[in-house]
Amino acid sequence: MGSPSLLRRAWIVKLSGSLAEWSPLVDWLKLLARHAADRPIIIVPGGGPFGHAVRNVQDVWRLDDPIAHRMALLAMEQYGLLLQGVCPSLRPAADLAALQANAREGRVSVWLPTRMALDRLMPADDWDAGADSLAAWLAAELGVERLVLVKSSAACPCGATDAAAMAEEGIVDAAFPAWAAHFRGEIWCVGRERLEQMDTALAANAGPGCALRTRHQAAAASAIGVSKSMTSGSIL
């Protein structure tokens, strides 16, 4: 179970930083911990109040974006450690070996992104690529089944099914559509109030909330449509 194929069964769940001061957050963490025995689950934490602090300090000191971005990675780690503090059964994971070990033990991994992002590939050195983009990058790197974005809106916030539209509306970071296009698995968006829907989806190994189309998926769907059109034309 320690092989990379184990992680390919994983769900990556990106938890919005805006949930940091929302008391039902603990219910989400307990839910994920309960399902981790059935499939690997990796939490990608947002920046939360720690990320806001980085932005404020950057404004005060006029820090360069690359410096602020590295600080933002550490802000994600602080939020991740907060999540573990709230739900001690979660396990931090800063590298592939830790992700695999946690999966073997049926534990939820809380990804601490700095080491992997800096050692392997950092999506960008500016604020266009935030935790959403890092979640998409990790999903593509590991080749997981699903990426689920848990957002703070009471209803499913996307309403649409297009990653680019979500970026335009500010629901995900600006670089997310480009990084999501590298991911071949499913991407779903669910509002924070949909805990029961997430529970059902995990139990059934089905997607919760709204399924998002990426540029890659849109191109594939277009190609299928063209192929069908050509086939039907030849029959006629």
Q: What is the pLDDT of residues 131-164, one digit of tens each?
A: 999 999 999 999 999 999 999 875 566 665 689 9
Q: What is the pLDDT of residues 54-69, one digit of tens each?
A: 999 999 999 999 899 9
Q: What is the pLDDT of residues 194-229, one digit of tens each?
A: 999 999 999 999 999 889 987 655 554 443 343 333
C-alpha 85/C-alpha 41 separation (Å) is 18
- State the sign of the Cα–Cα–Cα–Cα dihedral 54, 55, 58, 63: positive
Round the average pLDDT of the chain to a whole number and report it: 87
Calculate mean pLDDT across residues 88-106: 97
Residues 6+ apart with CB under 8 A from 185: 139, 143, 144, 145, 146, 147
Q: What pLDDT does 154 receive?
A: 58
- Give the residue numbers spanning the domain of 101: 4-235
Least confident of 112-121, 153-162, 168-177, 214-223: 214-223
Q: What is the pLDDT of residues 34-57, one digit of tens each?
A: 999 999 999 999 999 999 999 999
Cα–Cα nearest to 187, from 139, 122, 219, 232: 139
Specify the amino acid at residue 118.
L
Q: What pLDDT does 123 receive?
A: 60
Q: Name the pairing type of β-strands 146-151 and 186-191.
A: parallel
Rounded percentage of the chain residues whose pLDDT exceeds 90: 72
Q: Check residues 124 and 135 and name the one with the higher pLDDT.
A: 135
Q: What pLDDT does 89 receive?
A: 98
Question: How many distinct structural domains can be found in the chain?
Answer: 1
Phi, psi of 116 (to 5 degrees): -70, -40
For the whole prediction, is pTM greater than 0.85? yes
Q: What pLDDT does 100 receive?
A: 97
Q: What pLDDT does 224 receive?
A: 32
C-alpha 130/C-alpha 226 separation (Å) is 35
CATH of the domain at 202: 3.40.1160.10
Residues 6+ apart with CB under 8 A from 130: 46, 47, 51, 72, 173, 175
